């Protein structure tokens, strides 16, 4: 099962970093966030990655060129295939999907590279300790077209306890056990491409809405760690966790040997 990753967006809420590089290349510690994501998948036995490029795509190409690559020009478009020497379990296909293409369009442009088979999908800006083995088993067990990973939204605002105008206590917001949001980490069957009209389709809107209406979208509930990286403070939070040795998404030790190639 291949893993598709969308890494072509503008990253407009993280301009401190993305003026000069892709959001996927924003560092978390000594490595770009994309490296952390790929290591997470590798630790679960997935080693073949198909990455959609767009804005600042050259920064991603340069990263993999630095790890050791070979180019493979094909008739379907601009493709670069990387076999990183320092990550021997990885095969990475970098696919140019355009500067203005929206998320659904990028997914559809990856279709020729995904072997007309079920595949995993995620964005380039979120880290989690989701068990990808269980996610895959859940998807294969229900028989629908699409599975997303549902997570409780991280607490953003603390709560105040007031007496008149005096603050007497401050505590972090308690997660709402009944509130779930889309945390990405999808498993999708190739029929999903029929729900995507073209380049200007936002995957999180019409395709997911139609899949839900057709009874073809299921949610795998993840109650563990999940954190997006939309802003500089969120990048700093992830870096602090990594540097303190407290990164929940680090589920690998040494190089994993992919079970699914």
Asked if 110 and 52 touch (Cβ cutoff 8 Å), the reply is yes
Beta-strand pair 91-96/48-53: parallel
Paired with 167 in beta bridges are: 162
The pLDDT of residue 137 is 97
CA dist list (Å): 240 to 37, 43, 224, 253: 17, 22, 18, 19
Whether residue 6 is predicted with pLDDT greater than 90 in this model: the reply is: yes
Q: 110-151: per-residue pLDDT in tens?
A: 999 999 999 999 999 999 999 999 999 999 999 999 999 999
The pLDDT of residue 176 is 62
| pLDDT band, very low/low/confident/very high, at 174 (cuts 50, 70, 90) | low
Contacts of 259 (CB under 8 A, 6+ apart): 45
Work out the percent of the chain whose per-residue pLDDT is above 90: 69
The pLDDT of residue 118 is 98
* Mean pLDDT of all residues in 3-18: 78
Average pLDDT value for the chain: 87
The pLDDT of residue 257 is 39
The lowest-confidence range among 51-55, 64-68, 87-91 is: 64-68
Asked if 19 and 59 touch (Cβ cutoff 8 Å), the reply is no
Cα separation, 203 vs 190, in Å, equals 14
* Mean pLDDT of all residues in 152-174: 62
Asked if 8 and 103 touch (Cβ cutoff 8 Å), the reply is no
The pLDDT of residue 221 is 95
Whether residue 261 is predicted with pLDDT greater than 50 in this model: the reply is: no
Fold of 3-243: Spore Coat Polysaccharide Biosynthesis Protein SpsA; Chain A (3.90.550)
Chain centroid to CA 49? 11
The pLDDT of residue 172 is 62
pTM of the model: 0.87
CA dist list (Å): 69 to 53, 65, 147, 177, 244: 16, 5, 32, 46, 32
Whether residue 162 is predicted with pLDDT greater than 50 in this model: the reply is: yes
Structure token pair of residue 55: 């804005």
For residue 149, which of 157, 138, 160, 140 has the smallest C-alpha distance? 138
**Length of the chain as a residue count:** 261
* Mean pLDDT of all residues in 74-88: 75
């Amino acid at each position: 099962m291949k893993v598709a990753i969308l890494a072509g967006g503008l990253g407009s809420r993280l301009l401190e970093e993305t003026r000069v590089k892709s959001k996927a290349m924003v560092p978390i510690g000594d490595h770009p966030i994309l490296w952390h994501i790929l290591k997470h998948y590798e630790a679960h036995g997935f080693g073949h990655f198909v990455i959609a490029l767009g804005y600042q795509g050259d920064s991603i190409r340069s990263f993999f060129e630095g790890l050791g690559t070979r180019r493979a020009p094909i008739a379907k478009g601009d493709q670069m295939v990387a076999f990183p020497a320092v990550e021997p379990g990885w095969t990475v296909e970098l696919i140019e999907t355009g500067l203005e293409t929206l998320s659904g369009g990028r997914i559809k442009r990856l279709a020729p590279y995904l072997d007309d088979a079920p595949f995993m999908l995620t964005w380039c800006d979120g880290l989690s300790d989701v068990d990808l083995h269980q996610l895959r088993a859940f998807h294969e067990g229900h028989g629908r077209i699409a599975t997303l990973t549902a997570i409780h939204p991280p607490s953003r605002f603390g709560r105040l306890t007031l007496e008149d105008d005096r603050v007497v206590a401050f505590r972090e917001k308690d997660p709402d056990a009944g509130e779930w949001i889309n945390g990405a980490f999808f498993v999708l069957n190739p029929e999903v491409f029929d729900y995507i009209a073209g380049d200007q389709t936002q995957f999180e809107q019409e395709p997911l809405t139609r899949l839900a209406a057709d009874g073809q979208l299921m949610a795998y509930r993840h109650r563990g760690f999940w954190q997006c990286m939309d802003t500089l403070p969120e990048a700093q939070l992830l870096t602090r966790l990594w540097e303190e040795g407290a990164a929940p998404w680090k589920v690998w030790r040494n190089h994993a040997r992919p079970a699914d190639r």
